[in-house]
Amino acid sequence: MRLIRILLMVVVVVVLGLVALVVLLPGEKIAKIAADQVKAQTGRELSFDGKVGLSWYPVLGVSTGAVTLGNADWSDAGPMFRAESAAIGVDAMSLIGGDIRITKIEAVRPEVLLEVAKDGRANWELFPESDAATETSASGESGLGGLVLESLNIRDAKLRYVDHGGESFEISDVDAALRWLGKGKPAEVDLTLRPAGDEVSLNAVVSDLEGLLGGAVTNVQAKVRAAGASVDFDGRAALDPQVAGMLDANVPDPDALMTALGRAPSGVAGPAAVKGEITLTKEGQFSLRNGSITAFGNSLTAQADVFTSGPRPVVNAQFSAGGLNLVPLMGSGGESAPSAARWSKDPIDASALGLIDGEIGLSAESIDLGSAKLGKTRAIVAIKNSRAVVTLREAHIYDGVASGKVVANNRKGFSARADVSIAGLELQKLLSETAGVTRLSGKGKADISVLASGKSMHALMNSLDGSGSVDVGQGKISGIDLDRLLRGQPGGGTTVFDALSGSFVIKKGILSNDDLLLSLPSVIAKGAGTVGIGLRNIDYLFTPQLRSETDDGLAVPVEIKGSWDNPQFIPRLDKALGRDVDLEIDKVTDKAKSEVKQKLEEKLGVQSGEEQSVEDALKQKLEDKAVDKLKNLLGGN
C-alpha cells in the first residue's frame, strides 16, 4: 500500500505543479500569476526558467522551459518537483463556462522528491488544514468551477522517497498516465516502474480521486503485474493508509518478483498465492478473513491478524490444511533425515524464529517434518523473541497419539527440548525412522523428556540429555528365535513376545538402560547396555532365560554390537547360565563323582566318614571280608 501511495503522490505533485500554469494571460504574466497563486495556497515557491509560451489553436496551451516547485520549509533536500519542460492543453470553451478542462499535461524527465520528517510530516501535504477547510467551504465561490483532467502523461520520471525515520529509496525510469473526467467521475491511473530493469505495472480505477487525495476513503480497483505475478484488489482505500476489500494475488515465481522489485530473493520456493478479505488500518493492523494461502507447496485456509507497530510483527492466526510439508521451513540443515553413517554437520538456520511473535493455531491431516512424519495434528505455536513453544493437543505419530510440548529456542544459539507422551505407538516405525532399527515391533506407550543444543544435527544428537520409558504389549523381534537359541539351535527366525518394558537415561548423546524386561510364554529376557545416539552405534547385552520356578533355567546371553545400520547379534554360549563353561564342567564332574561314590556305598554297604575317603572305606571293607573268610576256613566262629 505504501508503494501505491507513493506513486499516486507522483501524479499529485505533477498535477499541482502544472495546473497552476493555466491562467488566461500570456507569457511571463502567466508564470508570475501562477507562481503567486501557488505561493499563496501552499507556501511553496514555483519558478520557471526560460520562456513561457502560449498557443491558441487548435487547443489553448501553455508550454514552459524548466519548472521547479519548492519543498517544505522544514526540508533541506532540494526542490520537491522539477522538470526540464512542461506543456498544458486547455479546452477554451469550457473556460468560458467557468470550468477548467485540461486536455493534456506532459512533463519531460520530471524529478519528484517525496519526503517524510522524523515527526511524521510529509512534504506532499501542500495545504494547511485550516486553509483546506476554508477552500472546501468556499468552493462554490471560487469562480474556478469544475476541474477536468483528460490526460496526464509523464515519461522517464525519477522518484526519490526519503523517510528520515525509516526506509528510503530511489526509482528511475517511471512512466505515469492519468485520465480523469472531473469531480464525481472515476479516474484511471497507469504507472510503470522499472526498479531493476523489468517492468512493474499498476493500473487502478479510483472512484473519487479528489476525495482520495484529500485523505478520504474511496472505492478502488487495482491491478499489479510484474514478472508473471498478478495482484488484484477490489475494495476501499485511503492514502494514510487504510485498505479494506478482496485481494487475489498469484505469484508463480516469488524470487523473480522480488528481483523485479529490486529486492533480495524471498527464499520462497515454488508458486505462492494469497486470496481473501483483507483490512489494513492506519495504525498498522492487518487482518485476513476467509483467506487461502499457497506457499512452499502447501495450501491452507487462514484467519489472521498482524500487528506491525512493535519491533517484530505480532501474528495471531488460525491455519487449517490437508497435507503440510514443513521441511522447507526448517532451515538449511542439510539432509532432512540422517545418512546411514552419520548425522549431518551442515549448519541449521533457525533465523526464521526471530521474524515474528504471536500465537498460531494449526490443524492438519498430516505434517512432514523431514525426520518425522505426523498424521492428524492439532497444535498451538507460541513465538516470542526467537523462542517457539509448540503445544501438541493431538498429533498422530508412529501409529500412536502424542501430546506434550516441544520448544525451539534461538536466542543464544539454537536449542530444542521435547516433553512428549505417546500412546499406542508402533515401536518399529519409531525406531526405524529415528534410529534405523527395524527388527523390533510392537504397540505400546512412551514418555520422553530430552534437551539438546548445537548448530547442526550432529551437534544436537551428541549433546542430547534426558530420560524416558517404554512399555510395549505384544510384539516381535525379527532375525532371532530365542526359543530355538535356548534349545541349542542358534540362527535366524522371529521371536514373539508378550510384553516389553524399560527406562533409559541419556547423557551427552549416549542412552543407557539397565532394566529392559522382555516376557515370553516360556522365556524371560533382560537387557542392559548403551546406545550411542550421537555416534549411531550400539553396545548391548540381551539375556534370554528359560522360565523355571527357581529362576535358574538355561540362559544364553546375546551381545548386540556395531552400527545402527548393521548391528551384529552374537550368542555368548560361553556365558550360558551366567557362568564360564569351565566352571560348569568342573561342577558336572564333581556331581558325577558324588553319584558314583553313593552307588558304591550302597552296593558295598560301606559308609565314608568326614575323615575317611571312599577308597579307605572300601579297603577296610575288603580287609574285614577277608578276615571273615579266613576264620571260616580255619573253623572259627
Q: What is the pLDDT of residue 382?
A: 96
Contact 105, 88 (CB under 8 A): yes
Distance between CA 637 and CA 474 in Å, rounded? 80
DSSP 88-132: EEE-HHHHHTT-EEEEEEEEES-EEEEEE-TTS-BTT--S-HHHH
- What is the overall mean pLDDT for the chain? 78
Q: What is the pLDDT of residue 430?
A: 76
Place of cell 476541474: 147
Please give the C-alpha separations between residue 95 and each of 20, 105, 143, 337, in angstroms, as whole numbers.
Answer: 14, 17, 11, 77
In percent, the amount of the chain with pLDDT more than 70 equals: 70
Give, in degrees to the nearest 5, the angle at Cα 262 between 272 and 221: 60
Choice between 592 and 112, residue whose per-residue pLDDT is larger: 112
Encode pLDDT of 185-244 as tens digits: 898 999 998 888 888 999 999 998 878 877 889 999 999 999 999 999 999 999 878 999
Encode pLDDT of 397-417 as tens digits: 888 999 999 999 999 899 999
The model carries a pTM of 0.66
Determine what percent of the chain falls in helix, strand and coil, rounding each to the nearest 5. 20, 45, 30
Contact 264, 258 (CB under 8 A): yes
Q: What is the pLDDT of residue 325?
A: 87
Q: What is the pLDDT of residue 491?
A: 64
Mean pLDDT lowest among 2-6, 163-167, 438-442: 2-6
Distance between CA 576 and CA 599 in Å, rounded? 30
Sequence-ordered strand ranges (E) for 12-69: 46-49, 53-55, 60-64, 66-69
DSSP letter at 207? S
Please give the C-alpha separations between residue 47 and each of 17, 50, 64, 504, 623, in angstroms, as whole numbers.
Answer: 10, 10, 10, 85, 154
Determine phi and psi for 213, rounding to 5 degrees. -70, -25
Dihedral sign computed on CA atoms, order 87, 89, 90, 92:
positive
Indicate whether 175 pLDDT > 60. yes
Choice between 438 and 140, residue whose per-residue pLDDT is larger: 438
Q: What is the pLDDT of residue 363?
A: 94
Q: What is the pLDDT of residue 296?
A: 84
Indicate whether 454 pLDDT > 70. yes
Q: 528 has which bridge partners?
A: 541
Give the residue from 612, 543, 603 showing the smallest Cα distance to 579: 543
In the structure, what pLDDT confidence band is assigned to residue 178 with cuts at 50, 70 and 90? confident
Alpha-carbon 194 to chain mean position? 32
Indicate whether 318 pLDDT > 80. yes
Indicate whether 308 pLDDT > 90. no
Give the residue from 399, 413, 356 showing the smallest Cα distance to 381: 356
Distance between CA 29 and CA 21 in Å, rounded? 10
Q: What is the pLDDT of residue 602?
A: 63
Alpha-carbon 589 to chain mean position? 71
> HSE-up of 576 (CA within 13 Å, CB side)?
15
Q: What is the pLDDT of residue 336?
A: 42
Indicate whether 286 pLDDT > 50. yes
* Grid cell listed for 116: 517524510
Instruction: Round the CA-based radius of gyration of the chain to a whole number and report it.
Output: 45
DSSP 338-391: --SS----SPP--GGGGS-EEEEEEEEEEEE-SS-EEEEEEEEEEEETTEEEEE
Place of cell 500570456: 26
* Grid cell listed for 81: 518537483
Give the residue from 369, 376, 382, 367 showing the smallest Cα distance to 400: 376
DSSP letter at 576? G
Highest-pLDDT range among 130-139, 364-373, 427-436: 364-373
For 302, other C-beta atoms within 10 Å of its C-beta total 19
In the structure, what pLDDT confidence band is assigned to residue 24 with cuts at 50, 70 and 90? very low
Contact 190, 201 (CB under 8 A): yes
In the structure, what pLDDT confidence band is assigned to residue 515 with cuts at 50, 70 and 90? very high
In the structure, what pLDDT confidence band is assigned to residue 475 with cuts at 50, 70 and 90? confident
Q: What is the pLDDT of residue 4?
A: 54
* Grid cell listed for 387: 523462542
In the structure, what pLDDT confidence band is assigned to residue 22 with cuts at 50, 70 and 90? very low
Amino acid, single-letter form, for residue 241: P
Distance between CA 402 and CA 425 in Å, rounded? 9
Determine phi and psi for 313, rounding to 5 degrees. -60, 140
What is the mean predicted confidence (pLDDT) over 329-349? Answer: 64
Q: What is the pLDDT of residue 222?
A: 95
Distance between CA 264 and CA 321 in Å, rounded? 29
**Which bin fits 588, alpha (ψ -120 to 50), beta or left (φ > 0)?**
alpha
What is the mean predicted confidence (pLDDT) over 163-187? Answer: 83
Give the residue from 95, 96, 89, 105 showing the smallest Cα distance to 147: 95
Encode pLDDT of 238-283 as tens digits: 987 899 999 999 999 988 888 888 888 877 778 999 999 999 998 8
Place of cell 502560449: 54
Choice between 174 and 338, residue whose per-residue pLDDT is larger: 174
Contact 197, 147 (CB under 8 A): no
Indicate whether 136 pLDDT > 50. no
Choice between 9 and 154, residue whose per-residue pLDDT is larger: 154
Indicate whether 616 pLDDT > 90. no
For 555, other C-beta atoms within 10 Å of its C-beta total 21
Contact 256, 281 (CB under 8 A): no
Indicate whether 486 pLDDT > 80. no
Q: What is the pLDDT of residue 198?
A: 86
Encode pLDDT of 543-567 as tens digits: 888 776 666 667 778 888 998 878 8
* Grid cell listed for 179: 485520465
Look at residue 297 and give its three-state secondary structure.
coil
Q: 588 has which bridge partners?
A: none
Look at residue 194 and give its three-state secondary structure.
coil
Contact 357, 384 (CB under 8 A): yes
Distance between CA 380 and CA 376 in Å, rounded? 14
